[in-house]
Amino acid sequence: MSLQITGTIARPGLGPGTWAVITATGETYELKDPPSELKQVGLQVRLQGQLRPDVMTLAMIGPVLEIQSFTIVP
Amino acid sequence: MKKVVWLGLFLIGLFAALWAYLGTVNRGEFDSILLDFRADEAAEIEPALQAIAAEFGVEPRLNSSFSQAEQVYRVSGDRERLRALRRSPLAKLTERIEPNYRYHTLESPNDPDYPKQWNFRSINLEPAWDKTQGAGVTVAVIDTGIARVPDLEKTEFVEGYDFVNDRTDAADDNGHGTHVAGTIAQSTNNDYGVAGIAYRAKLMPLKVLSASGSGEVADIAEAIRFAADHQADVINLSLGGGGESQILRDAIDYAHDKGVVIVAAAGNANQNSATYPARYPHVIGVAALGPAGDKAPYSNFGAGIDIAAPGGSKVDGDLGGILQHTIDPATGQPIFAAYEGTSMAAPHVAGVAALVKASGIDNPDEVFNVLQQSARAVPDDALNYYGAGQLDAANAVQLAERGNVDFRDFFRWLRDNGYLNPRFWVDGGVAALLPKLLMVLGSYLLAIFLRYYFPFQWTWGLGAGLIAGSGGLFFLRGFYIFDLPQWPLRLVGSPIAEWGNVIQGSAVLNPAFASVLIPLGLILLLLGHPQGKGWAIGTTIGMAVFLGVAAIANPPLLWLGMGLPARSFLAINALLCLGLARLALKTEVRPA
């Protein structure tokens, strides 16, 4: 299931190694192994990716998104 | 054959009693030795101290500045050095050489940062530790692996597996799994760091989450089956997300069928319903509480929440988090870190589940029941923030023990009534307190074995009979009430077998009392009486233990003296009492 998400990169405190993107409407997606370019809190991004319902995480903050491509919004 | 079993059981009870006695005597811990020099040998002390320094390579010091007058010196050393000192010629210069026993209270662990673990106080953990620390139970931590940080050094591990990298070493490269493991079984009372809940339980590290904290359902399902196949008793899953998965569900059912308690975190999205796997049947879904005992801001709620436990909240800083020893993922170095999350709440429940299992409850559904029933219910919980309520370790262990093993119940009863208070036998100064105490315990142990083979309703009459037969209310003998005759206290303070001594006022056992005669009379008289029978049977079993211990301890016996005839008489009567108890128990019918 491919989808496009626009939001802000966040580093929730619930678990080391966890990165997320939070949309303007407040939905949280946990990023699965994000590239290092995206590991920057507050970054505005547009992500293309797919949900991974077969993946579980220690952070448990929302659906897991595997990124296929991304653009950093200036 | 049955007779052999009987004899075996009797001997087990007897040796358990004696062994426990000897064990108590030898159990003290010490790492230094006290030498109390004789006052009349003052001139010899200095050369003696030098001789000790030369021979053992240690420097004797005055115990404190107050020890000068008494000439009490202290040297470091163990049991071996103690023996060597006692054998050395220096011993003649001393009044005594004895171990400098260390005394410490058991209730509060000595881990220096334990006071920061508000979460353990909020689950009422210390009274539970009085009863069990989880020995004999294995908890599988299915997570990012476990790093052997210093504060896990004293914790036992069993073999695990790394399903991410397919290898047996399930080390942690994230820190989460180590933190979770710490809550369950951090080394405790080790003078270092912090405490863990079931610190005598064994940990099984199973790595399914990568360094970045995510893992695939297939690995998680395999890890659950691995745990079930390798004798894990409890599984902790501080992970979740994704959709329903039949593979995972099957693995959970498999483990549940094998008797494993499965605990999972509810999730941290502050949404209505727990994530999987917490939501599956047979999984205890755990919501998180903040330091004030209310719902933590991140915790999921609603469907799938079975119970709530501290997950912490760092809104007001690290002190509100859950503190354990783990690794810094950036450096791999051990650090004490405060985490928050339902990930931290789940291991509280897993740890207490381990304590409940260690208290003798095996069936996972019963463990679940105990946890739910013992939780402190939260009123007006319309959105199901808390499930059954707030986790309570002491209540859970107490409930687990109640109606389960009556020995513990009896033991607790003894303690609550002051029988086990150390003051009775340390300060009391009443002769032979310990052997008598152990006769009470030994006879109780025997009764448990008996019940295994001969079902009967447990009654307090039986308990009272056990005491009367084995040790009596022995502490009463130390009491003297102004101007009142003391003999009634001595009488109830003595086991029935010693009643003859009370009457005669001597230390010599009277065969008329120290034999099967009185139990026989009691059984014949009371067999038809529903409560009295229990007391008579208890007395008979207690008497069997008293006579058995007496046959070994060899007290003087009227007419028979102290030798083989007396011992044989006592041993034969002990066996007769046992046989009598067995016959009387046969008349009992197992309650429906």
pLDDT in tens, B372-424: 999 999 999 999 999 999 999 999 998 887 655 455 556 655 555 555 555 54
Establish whether B104 is a catalytic residue: no
Q: Per the CB < 8 Å rule, is B216 touching A14?
A: no
Using a CB-CB distance cutoff of 8 angstroms, which residues of chain B are in contact with residue A54? 216-218, 242-243, 245
The pLDDT assigned to B102 comes to 61
The residue extents of the domains of chain B are: 2-24+405-586, 30-101, 114-401
Gap from A29 CA to chain B (nearest CA, Å): 10
**Rounded-to-integer distance, Cα B395 and Cα B288, Å:** 19
CB atoms within 10 A of CB A6: 13
Q: Per the CB < 8 Å rule, is B241 touching A64?
A: yes
State the average pLDDT for chain B. 82
The pLDDT assigned to B27 comes to 45
Read out DSSP for B286-322?
A: EEEE-TTSSB-TT--BSTT--EEEE----TT-GGGSE
Interface predicted TM-score (ipTM) of this complex, two decimals: 0.93
User: What are the tokens at B25?
Assistant: 């005597």
Put simply, whether A54 touches B (Cβ < 8 Å) is yes
Put simply, whether B217 touches A (Cβ < 8 Å) is yes
The architecture in CATH of the region B30-101 reads 2-Layer Sandwich (3.30)
Using a CB-CB distance cutoff of 8 angstroms, which residues of chain A are in contact with residue B265? 60
Band (pLDDT 50/70/90 cuts) for residue B489 is low
Domains defined for chain A, CATH in brackets = 2-72 (2.40.50.140)
**Mutate: best of A14, A56, A64, A67, partner B, most B CBs <10 A:** A56
**Mutate: best of B174, B219, B268, B333, partner A, most A CBs <10 A:** B268
Query: pLDDT (tens digit, 9 = 90+) per residue, B264-320?
Result: 999 999 999 999 999 999 999 999 999 999 999 999 999 999 999 999 999 888 999
Residue B138 pLDDT greater than 60, yes or no: yes
In 3D space, the residue among B525, B404, B535 whose CA is nearest the CA of residue B463 turns out to be: B535
The pLDDT assigned to A28 comes to 93
Alpha carbon B163 to chain centroid, angstroms:
34
Say what percent of chain B tops pLDDT 70.
Answer: 76
The pLDDT assigned to B71 comes to 80
CB atoms within 10 A of CB A71: 11
In 3D space, the residue among B324, B359, B356 whose CA is nearest the CA of residue B343 turns out to be: B324
Prediction pTM value: 0.62
- Per CATH, which fold does B114-401 belong to? Rossmann fold (3.40.50)
Please, are residues B96 and B86 in contact by the beta-carbon 8 Å criterion? no
Establish whether B406 is a catalytic residue: no
